[in-house]
Structures are given as structure tokens and as C-alpha cells.
Copies of this chain bind each other. A is one copy, B any other.
Amino acid sequence: MAALLDDDRLFPLDSAARDLARALYETVRDLPIVSPHGHTDPRWFAENAAFPDPAQLIVVPDHYIFRMLVSQGVSLDALGVPRADGSVEQTDGRAIWRLFAENYHLFRGTPTRLWLDHTFENLFGMEVRLSAGTADLYYDHIAECLATEAYLPRALFERFKLEVIATTEGALDPLKWHRQIKDSGWNGRVITTYRPDAVVDPEFEGFAANLVQLAALTGCDTSDWSGYLEAHRRRRAYFRDHGATATDHGHPTADTANLSPSEAAALHARVAKGGANAADANLFRAQMLTEMAKMSVEDGMVMQIHAGSWRNHSGSVFASHGRDKGFDIPRRTSYVDALKPMLDVVGMEPGLTVILFTLDETVYSRELAPLAGVYPCLRLGPPWWFFDSVEGMKRFRAAATETAGFYNTVGFNDDTRAFPSIPARHDVARRVDCGYLAEQVRAGLLVEEEAAELAHDLAYRLAKAAYRL
């Protein structure tokens, strides 16, 4: 047994199931990692510069970490999280790290604890648990590591056995880091993903200006509905040229619409100049999901829908510190009615793949599995965000498999910008899936050879196939 990690962690408690889970896991633990959706920064791989201090690497950018600390009274400022105006109250990495370390017990029972301990042990070789008493030991050791060649981004990419990683960029992004990676001759595969929220959502900050910028980038008249659509087509092509095989859409709901061309054009005219009302904004986002799906039928890009987050729930924190500060809260989300307009248009298209994600676990068995279990274009993304967790994964398999089977799911997404946590996250998914399969065998629902094939599918093959990688 290791210092921080139990070798048999996350496997079933029953010893026969545990033995089988361990055996299945051995066959997949060292498979390459396919990371088809996430938020790492392509600049890391382009410049290959050393990561800054331990706090800047691990604490400051990780909303899972700072939200928990905030919930117990620690301030974002004390953690060095930048304010909306760009100022930073605490710049002393060691002070931030100590504050984190003395509150490390708060993470008991959370996936963050699992990811961190995995990182501490496997990446940095730590053998004692993080605490107030070991804070400096950790800080000094990690800082020392980060200064070495072996911890540069490309070295870690290779150490992590990343076969491919997809980053996520806005439609207006010039993709210069991706070009630089390509031009560098390094053979790590870092691809982009087309995420057009800022030019699709009339409620996005600066939407009207964004359309102007989109026009400038594409040479299309984005104040005109068909020019606007053509601009998307060109940007999608540009992203495909930088490796993209997928698009991604982060919407507050899963609403879709199927307006007539003239209705759509009129709606576009109302929202394009900015200041859309809420109903028009929602309808435009809804219509654009259908438009994006139709373009995916044309150009073969896989479409991802991440629906149901109420972003920036706290008005005061949004004012002081801006977006992505841990105050994004899930909402009840509907899919059966919401997706119907889009599905009526493209639902039976043989070449289309639409991958659905949710923050409302009640829809797994009631809506998503029944939909994905019949519509050929639909696939189920893995448990997302708060549900990228041991229990979250178990609930997903238990709720979705009986109706959608395994083959309407798409393997694992780490969906993270915490680069060092990527191996830990995939490891959790592989362990939990092997445990699930082992229990299925022990319950007489699968035989061992099937479980072995499925373990490989879930760890590796389905992600490649679904994302066309």
C-alpha cells in the first residue's frame, strides 16, 4: 500500500468483485489517455515554459478548491484569486499554500481530495498527507520539481501518455498557440474545439461587438442572418484546420428551436444589434443549436451540448471577482421537450453525433437514456462537473445503462483546466468503470470476456470513436 493512496481504492468492497475489478483495471490502467474535451491552455504546450509556483499551479486556478474554502469562510482574496479589475490581494504563493493546507481536511469525501492525493503521490512523490504541518514540505518540494525539465508541459504531456488532448476556444480565438504547436514540430496532438457561445448567446458580455469581430475575421456580413451563418461555417472550417473534430455549446438550458428561415432572420435582426430581451435571447440560442446541428451534418463535426448551469449565481462575487469563481450552480433541466425541435430536423441523420451533458442527474434515467436509446444521433456524455466523481459515475451507470446500454455512451471526459489532475481523473473513471463491470459479472449480467472488452471500450475506444479522433 502506498503512502497516500490505497492500491485498491474505488473497487467494490466484496472481495470476489474486488479481485475481478482489479484484474480488469490492470488491463486498462496503462492505456493512453484520450482527452476529447477539456480546458487546458494551449499556450502551455506552445511555449513549454515552466509552471509557476505550487499555489499558482494547483490552488488559484481550481474552482473546485477555492469554492470549498470559500464555503467555510476563506475569502477569494486570501487565496490570491484575481479580482474583476485584475488586482490580486495575495501574491505570496507560500501563504496561499499554507491556507489551503491547513484546510485540507475540508476535502474529505470529495473527488478533489482523490485527484490531489493522486497528483501529490504520483507526480510529486509525496508520502505524507497534506496538512498545516506538512504545508512547507509540500511547497518546497513541488516548487523544486516545477523548476526541472521533467515538469515542463510537454514532458508532462508525454508522461501522462496523452494520445490526444482537445482544448476549447471561443469562435473569435485566432488559435495562435495551436498553430505554434503545429509549427514547432513537437508531435504531441493538441487540438482545438469550436465553442461559439460568445457569438451565439445574445446575453454574453459584448455580444454585438463580438459579431462585429466575427465579421472582421471571416469577411462575412454578420448583421445579416445568412452572412452570420456563413461566418460560422468559415470559423468551423478554420477550427477544423487546427485539429478540431467537435463543437461545444454551454447553454443555460437545452432549449432548441426550429424557426422558418424568415422567422430566424427576423430574430437575428432583433438580437444582432445587442440588448435582446430574455425571450429573444433564449430563442436565438435555441435556434442556433439547431443551426449548429445542421452544420455538423454538413461538415461532420461532433456536437457537444453542456446545458443547465446558472453561471455567476452570486451577484456580489460576480461584481468583485468576475466569472468562473465557483458560483456556477446547476439547475433543473429538461431535454425531452427542449431537444424536440432539433431532433425533428436532424434526429435521424446517420452521420450526426450530438453528445449530451447534464447537471441534473434526474434526467439520466427519465430523459437522456430513453432519448439516446433510440435516436441514432444522440450519445450520452460522461457525468459532468459536480458529478465527475465516484458516486456520480456510479449513479450514471446505474441509471443510464439499462436503457441506453454502454454503446450509446462515449467514455470519459476530464473536462479540466487543472492539467496535473488529468491522469488522476482518468484513473478514477477507469477504476469506477472496472468496479461497475466486475459487479455486473458477479451479478450474472455479463461474462468476463464481455467485461474485459467493455473495460477497454470505456477507457479508450469509445472516446476515440465518438469524437472521431
How many residues of chain A have a CB within 8 Å of chain B?
91
Q: Which of B331, B336, B402, B443 contacts A389 (CB 8 A)?
A: B402
Q: What copy number does this chain have within its complex?
A: 3
Which residues on the B side are within 8 Å of A373 (C-beta)?
Answer: 67-68, 71
Do A344 and B366 form a contact, CB below 8 Å, given A10-B444, A390-B402? no
Minimum CB–CB distance for A288 against chain B, Å? 21
Stretch at the interface among A25-33, A80-88, A242-250, A314-322: A314-322
Which residues on the B side are within 8 Å of A326 (C-beta)?
Answer: 374
In the complex, A369→B356 CA distance in Å? Answer: 23
Cβ of A350 under 8 Å from chain B: yes
B16 and A405: CB pair below 8 A?
no
Minimum CB–CB distance for A31 against chain B, Å? 20
Minimum CB–CB distance for A382 against chain B, Å? 15
Which residues on the B side are within 8 Å of A443 (C-beta)?
Answer: 6, 9-11, 13, 390
Cβ of A313 under 8 Å from chain B: yes
Minimum CB–CB distance for A23 against chain B, Å? 16
Max chain B Cβ within 10 angstroms of own Cβ: one of A72, A337, A370, A408: A370
Minimum CB–CB distance for A459 against chain B, Å? 16
Would you mind naming 25 contact pairs between A and B with Cβ atoms under 8 Å apart?
Answer: A13-B17, A13-B439, A13-B442, A67-B373, A68-B373, A68-B405, A70-B374, A71-B404, A71-B408, A72-B408, A105-B450, A106-B405, A109-B445, A310-B336, A314-B348, A329-B336, A329-B371, A330-B367, A332-B362, A360-B362, A362-B366, A370-B386, A390-B445, A391-B401, A391-B402
Chain A contact residues, CB within 8 Å of chain B = 5-6, 8-14, 16-17, 67-68, 70-73, 105-111, 113-114, 129, 310, 313-317, 326-327, 329-332, 334, 336-337, 340, 343-344, 347-348, 350, 359-362, 365-367, 369-376, 378, 386-387, 389-392, 395, 398-399, 401-408, 439-440, 442-447, 450, 454
